[in-house]
Amino acid sequence: MIKNYLKIAFRSLWKTKIHTLINIGGLGLGIAACVLIVLFVKDEWSFDTFHTKADRIYRVFVKEDWGENEQFFNTVTPFPMGPTLKENFEDVEYQVRLQNVGTSVRIGEDLFRESVLIVGKDFLESLILKPFWGMEMKRCKIKPD
Protein backbone atom coordinates (compact mmCIF):
# COMPACT_ATOMS: atom_id res chain seq x y z
CA MET A 1 0.00 0.00 0.00
CA ILE A 2 2.75 2.43 0.94
CA LYS A 3 4.58 1.47 -2.24
CA ASN A 4 1.59 2.64 -4.29
CA TYR A 5 1.35 5.92 -2.36
CA LEU A 6 5.05 6.64 -2.97
CA LYS A 7 4.69 5.78 -6.66
CA ILE A 8 1.72 8.16 -7.07
CA ALA A 9 3.54 10.92 -5.18
CA PHE A 10 6.67 10.52 -7.31
CA ARG A 11 4.64 10.60 -10.56
CA SER A 12 2.83 13.74 -9.39
CA LEU A 13 6.11 15.46 -8.53
CA TRP A 14 7.65 14.39 -11.84
CA LYS A 15 4.79 15.90 -13.87
CA THR A 16 5.27 19.38 -12.40
CA LYS A 17 9.06 19.64 -12.33
CA ILE A 18 9.34 23.42 -11.95
CA HIS A 19 6.73 23.55 -9.19
CA THR A 20 8.47 20.65 -7.40
CA LEU A 21 11.87 22.34 -7.72
CA ILE A 22 10.53 25.60 -6.25
CA ASN A 23 8.87 23.77 -3.35
CA ILE A 24 11.91 21.64 -2.49
CA GLY A 25 14.24 24.65 -2.84
CA GLY A 26 12.03 26.72 -0.53
CA LEU A 27 11.87 23.89 1.99
CA GLY A 28 15.67 23.57 1.91
CA LEU A 29 16.15 27.31 2.40
CA GLY A 30 13.67 27.33 5.27
CA ILE A 31 15.38 24.45 7.05
CA ALA A 32 18.82 26.05 6.51
CA ALA A 33 17.58 29.37 7.92
CA CYS A 34 16.10 27.63 10.98
CA VAL A 35 19.34 25.74 11.62
CA LEU A 36 21.37 28.97 11.38
CA ILE A 37 19.01 30.80 13.75
CA VAL A 38 19.19 27.94 16.28
CA LEU A 39 23.01 27.92 16.10
CA PHE A 40 23.13 31.70 16.57
CA VAL A 41 20.78 31.64 19.58
CA LYS A 42 22.70 28.74 21.13
CA ASP A 43 25.96 30.69 20.76
CA GLU A 44 24.44 33.84 22.29
CA TRP A 45 23.04 31.94 25.29
CA SER A 46 26.36 30.21 25.94
CA PHE A 47 28.44 33.41 25.82
CA ASP A 48 30.69 33.82 28.90
CA THR A 49 29.09 30.90 30.74
CA PHE A 50 32.48 29.30 31.43
CA HIS A 51 32.85 31.55 34.50
CA THR A 52 31.58 30.12 37.78
CA LYS A 53 30.07 33.52 38.62
CA ALA A 54 28.66 34.19 35.15
CA ASP A 55 25.24 35.15 36.50
CA ARG A 56 26.84 37.99 38.50
CA ILE A 57 29.07 39.48 35.77
CA TYR A 58 27.94 42.62 33.96
CA ARG A 59 29.51 44.80 31.32
CA VAL A 60 29.12 48.55 31.47
CA PHE A 61 28.57 50.48 28.26
CA VAL A 62 28.05 54.13 27.44
CA LYS A 63 25.20 55.51 25.36
CA GLU A 64 26.29 58.72 23.67
CA ASP A 65 23.50 61.02 22.48
CA TRP A 66 24.70 63.66 20.03
CA GLY A 67 21.27 64.72 18.80
CA GLU A 68 18.68 63.29 16.49
CA ASN A 69 19.75 60.09 14.69
CA GLU A 70 23.19 60.27 16.29
CA GLN A 71 23.19 57.83 19.18
CA PHE A 72 26.16 55.58 19.76
CA PHE A 73 26.73 52.64 22.11
CA ASN A 74 30.30 52.19 23.24
CA THR A 75 31.89 49.68 25.61
CA VAL A 76 34.86 51.95 26.26
CA THR A 77 34.00 53.79 29.45
CA PRO A 78 35.77 56.61 31.29
CA PHE A 79 38.64 55.44 33.50
CA PRO A 80 37.12 56.50 36.88
CA MET A 81 33.75 54.82 36.19
CA GLY A 82 34.69 51.47 37.77
CA PRO A 83 35.84 52.80 41.15
CA THR A 84 32.93 55.28 41.23
CA LEU A 85 30.37 52.50 40.66
CA LYS A 86 31.98 50.41 43.40
CA GLU A 87 31.90 53.32 45.87
CA ASN A 88 28.32 54.42 45.14
CA PHE A 89 26.54 51.08 44.73
CA GLU A 90 26.78 48.49 47.46
CA ASP A 91 25.73 45.71 45.06
CA VAL A 92 29.01 46.06 43.14
CA GLU A 93 31.38 43.52 44.67
CA TYR A 94 34.33 43.94 42.31
CA GLN A 95 35.15 46.19 39.42
CA VAL A 96 37.62 45.16 36.76
CA ARG A 97 39.01 47.33 34.02
CA LEU A 98 40.52 45.69 30.96
CA GLN A 99 42.92 47.35 28.54
CA ASN A 100 44.09 45.52 25.46
CA VAL A 101 47.44 46.82 24.24
CA GLY A 102 48.69 45.60 20.91
CA THR A 103 51.96 46.23 19.14
CA SER A 104 54.12 44.88 16.35
CA VAL A 105 57.64 43.61 16.93
CA ARG A 106 60.10 43.16 14.06
CA ILE A 107 63.08 40.86 14.48
CA GLY A 108 65.07 40.81 11.30
CA GLU A 109 62.68 39.84 8.52
CA ASP A 110 60.01 38.43 10.85
CA LEU A 111 57.10 40.57 12.04
CA PHE A 112 55.24 39.48 15.16
CA ARG A 113 51.99 40.97 16.41
CA GLU A 114 51.83 40.91 20.18
CA SER A 115 48.82 41.61 22.34
CA VAL A 116 48.84 42.19 26.09
CA LEU A 117 45.73 42.38 28.27
CA ILE A 118 46.17 44.68 31.25
CA VAL A 119 43.64 43.98 34.00
CA GLY A 120 42.73 45.45 37.38
CA LYS A 121 43.61 43.98 40.76
CA ASP A 122 40.16 42.37 41.25
CA PHE A 123 40.37 40.36 38.02
CA LEU A 124 41.23 37.01 39.58
CA GLU A 125 38.68 37.46 42.38
CA SER A 126 35.79 38.25 40.05
CA LEU A 127 36.40 35.86 37.14
CA ILE A 128 36.85 32.38 38.54
CA LEU A 129 37.00 29.89 35.67
CA LYS A 130 35.53 26.43 35.83
CA PRO A 131 38.17 23.69 35.93
CA PHE A 132 38.69 21.71 32.74
CA TRP A 133 38.65 17.90 32.79
CA GLY A 134 38.77 17.62 36.58
CA MET A 135 41.80 19.87 37.01
CA GLU A 136 42.11 21.72 40.28
CA MET A 137 42.13 25.49 39.98
CA LYS A 138 44.94 27.26 41.83
CA ARG A 139 44.63 30.91 42.77
CA CYS A 140 47.40 33.35 42.04
CA LYS A 141 48.29 35.63 44.88
CA ILE A 142 49.04 39.18 43.87
CA LYS A 143 51.17 41.24 46.19
CA PRO A 144 50.82 44.98 45.70
CA ASP A 145 54.15 46.81 45.60
Q: Where are the alpha helices (DSSP H) in the chain?
A: 2-15, 17-45, 81-88, 123-126
Residue type, 11: R
CB within 8 Å of 139: residues ≥ 6 apart: 124
**Cβ atoms of 82 and 96 closer than 8 Å:** yes
The answer, yes or no, to whether residue 13 has pLDDT greater than 90, is: no
State pTM to two decimals: 0.50
- Tens-place pLDDT, residues 79-123: 888 888 889 998 888 888 888 888 888 888 899 888 888 887 777
